[in-house]
Structure 1
Amino acid sequence: MSKFDWSDLDARLLQLLVAVVEVGSITGAAQRLGVTQSAVSHLLDKLRVITGDPLFVKSGRGIVATARAEALAAQARELLGELERFARSGEFDPARWQTTFTIAANDFQRDLLLPALMARLRQAAPGLVLRVIPSDVPSLEMLRSEHCQLVISPRPPDGADILQKRLFEDRYRVFYDPAVREPPRTRADYLDAQHITVVYEPRRALDLDRHLAAQGIQRRFAVMVPGFAGLPPFIRGSDLLATVPGRLQSHLLRDLASVEPPVPCPPMPMYMVWHARHQVDAAHRWLRGELEAVVGDVVT
């Protein structure tokens, strides 16, 4: 009979499981946790005995998690969150906060807000590690499974257990290469041109295009890219137009020209989104406040 049972589980084993599942390698998990590879291997062997599952199997030159490991990692994230909240049952002190906080954001909001947020966090909460993942079109499951603790997106998922707060509102502008073409001054100029756009989910129209379609406006797309970072190389040296959030002119598209759209476009709101389990959590509430302070400084 195995000498291990459920009472042998501790936070270190749960953190290890989550780290290996998320990173996908023994080496990466060891680096994230600040331990040796041999320590990770030893603890994984202990977990395998406890769970009765191989947890990870070889795939090419790396490893992949078994279905059981994926399911256990989701439960482990929940348990780790509960343990952290248990330990913080007293007054919250950000200077003593030791955690990895995951925010899901696409490249527009990531580059606009998160460097400034990280600068604030390094001063006030030096023990916090900020992990940033792409949000694409955010889903309820991202927050329910603790895949991330906060989402920044113009498209909040809709759920009774999901909360949101508007951070700011942006306006669309049309970006182009002034060395190649003139700005589109009329609706006809705009509709005659070819366009480039960002598409996160195949066959799902952008909110902007659904709005334009309701007015009988259909853009002609020559290129679709998976993120805003893909726009500049295609716009430079071409006659393509990109109708995107205007605040991109402060960083990613700063070397391109832009004008207001010659067709009516809706505003683009930006929200922070979180699960109800974190609504009254002191640490989560503090970090949301830090993000709002960053918005006040960065978005003018």
Structure 2
Amino acid sequence: MSRIDAFSLDGHALRLFLAVLEEGSVTAAGRLGLSQSAASHGLIRLRGLLGDPLFVKSGRGIVATPYARGLAGPAQALLDGLQGLVRMDVFTPASARIGFTIAANGFQRDLLLPGFFARVEAQVARLSLRVVPSGAPSAALLREQGCDLIITPFPPAGTDILQKRLLTDRYACFYDAAARRPPETAEAYLAARHITVLHPEGEALDFDRRLEAEGLQRDIAIRVPGFDGVAAFLRGSAMLATLPGLLRHGALRGLAHAPVPLPPARGRLGALPLYMAWHRRDQQDARHAWLRGELQATAAALREAAPDAAP
């Protein structure tokens, strides 16, 4: 490989390289405001400078060479450094007027965002918070769709996507104490009728998928499209609902709950981490960093109120 003139590289070329690497297509340059022709010429120039093809055809798409994959981390670090040079701003909450968009599904929205809004609004001049559904969150939400932050148990993958764990939950068995006692054995639990959640996209809860994969069959009487639809069916019935335990602070407030009587090795009742995820472009932004800190503080306050919600 020929000697590389590092000073011939520029931020635009590195940003183009990372965009194509992240999406596996030259059409990714569209989100940078570049035509496909301009992107192709930019990659040709970058290939010449680096002495490597960077991307090669594979079927109908392209794949990165080993050199290109190894270049991703250093290229992103260089971009972060360049952005840091022009982001020497000082953020003063008391005079700030903030518009912020967060993607979260019903459970995460109701659990964290009312407290987050109250906490931030008390410290800034004005706060306007827009909440959109995250669904099964994709990196495109942060890359292209004007979203500042995602709150989700399953953060999207990407070299340009950063994440931080906010708290950890566990599944619990919810029931109406006026209508029945908690199931004390695996046999009693599996023999009961159950209510569960089937997301609008047709995706079952992770817990339900794991039990089915292990051959554990339950009698599912009702499937609803969101957590907020469970309580009305559960009250006054002998049915059970196995859902994230922290719902006792929200949609399932007032209902009884107990541990799920299945051996962890079979039911795989492991931890349920909850993350916030954001795009790397916002990593050095003082306003964004402060808001991330306030969301972490909101989660910490919830953990204090619910000690079993581990960090």
- TM-score, normalised relative to structure 1: 0.67
Contact 2:169 2:272 in 1 (8 A): yes
Write the distance in 2 (CA, Å) between the matches of 1:124 and 1:275.
24
Q: Please give the residue correspondences for 1:219-238 in structure 2 after superposition, counting only pairs within 5 Å.
A: 219-238=218-237
Write the distance in 1 (CA, Å) between the matches of 2:280 and 2:139.
12
Partner of 1:290: 294
Q: Is residue 2:192 matched to residue 1:188?
A: no
Contact 1:208 1:266 in 2 (8 A): no
Contact 2:163 2:276 in 1 (8 A): yes
Partner of 1:270: 274
Higher mean C-alpha displacement, 91-100 vs 187-196: 91-100
| SS of residue paired to 1:272 | strand
| SS of residue paired to 1:90 | coil
Partner of 1:252: 251
Partner of 1:133: 132
- CA apart distance, 1:174: 0.3
Residues 87 and 237 (structure 1 numbering): CA distance in 2 closer, same or farther, change over 3 Å? farther
Contact 1:117 1:294 in 2 (8 A): yes
Contact 1:169 1:270 in 2 (8 A): yes
Partner of 1:120: 119
Q: Is residue 2:149 matched to residue 1:150?
A: yes
- CA apart distance, 1:235: 0.5
Contact 1:211 1:266 in 2 (8 A): no
Q: Please give the residue correspondences for 1:1-16 in structure 2 after superposition, counting only pairs within 5 Å.
A: none
Residue type of the partner of 2:137? P
**Corresponding residue pairs, total:** 220
Larger Rg: 2
| SS of residue paired to 2:284 | coil
Write the distance in 1 (CA, Å) between the matches of 2:285 and 2:270.
35
Q: Deviations over 1:107-166 (max 9, x none)?
A: 222222111111111121232211112222212211111332111111111222111111
- CA apart distance, 1:168: 0.5
Q: Please give the residue correspondences for 1:22-171 in structure 2 after superposition, counting only pairs within 5 Å.
A: 90-171=89-170
Q: Deviations over 1:75-111 (max 9, x none)?
A: 8xxxxxxxxx999752122223223201111222222
Point out 4+ residue stretches in structure 1 off by more than 3 angstroms.
72-75, 85-89
Higher mean C-alpha displacement, 95-104 vs 257-266: 95-104
Structure 1 vs Structure 2 CA RMSD: 2.5
Partner of 2:260: 261
Residues 181 and 151 (structure 1 numbering): CA distance in 2 closer, same or farther, change over 3 Å? same
Contact 2:283 2:289 in 1 (8 A): yes
- CA apart distance, 1:240: 1.9
Which consecutive unaligned segments of at least 5 residues does structure 1 have?
Answer: 1-71, 76-84
Q: Deviations over 1:43-72 (max 9, x none)?
A: xxxxxxxxxxxxxxxxxxxxxxxxxxxxx9
Partner of 2:173: 174
Write the distance in 2 (CA, Å) between the matches of 1:234 and 1:299.
28
Write the distance in 1 (CA, Å) between the matches of 2:131 and 2:125.
17
- CA apart distance, 1:276: 1.2
| SS of residue paired to 1:242 | strand
Q: Is residue 2:303 matched to residue 1:299?
A: yes
Residues 116 and 253 (structure 1 numbering): CA distance in 2 closer, same or farther, change over 3 Å? same
Partner of 2:45: none
Q: Deviations over 1:156-210 (max 9, x none)?
A: 1122211111111011110011222221111111111221112224443322123
Contact 2:87 2:285 in 1 (8 A): no
- CA apart distance, 1:289: 0.4
Contact 1:137 1:201 in 2 (8 A): no
Which consecutive unaligned segments of at least 5 residues does structure 2 have?
Answer: 1-29, 34-83, 305-311
- CA apart distance, 1:251: 3.2
Write the distance in 2 (CA, Å) between the matches of 1:239 and 1:209.
20
Write the distance in 2 (CA, Å) between the matches of 1:239 and 1:202.
28
- TM-score, normalised relative to structure 2: 0.65
Identity %: 50
Write the distance in 2 (CA, Å) between the matches of 1:100 and 1:86.
24
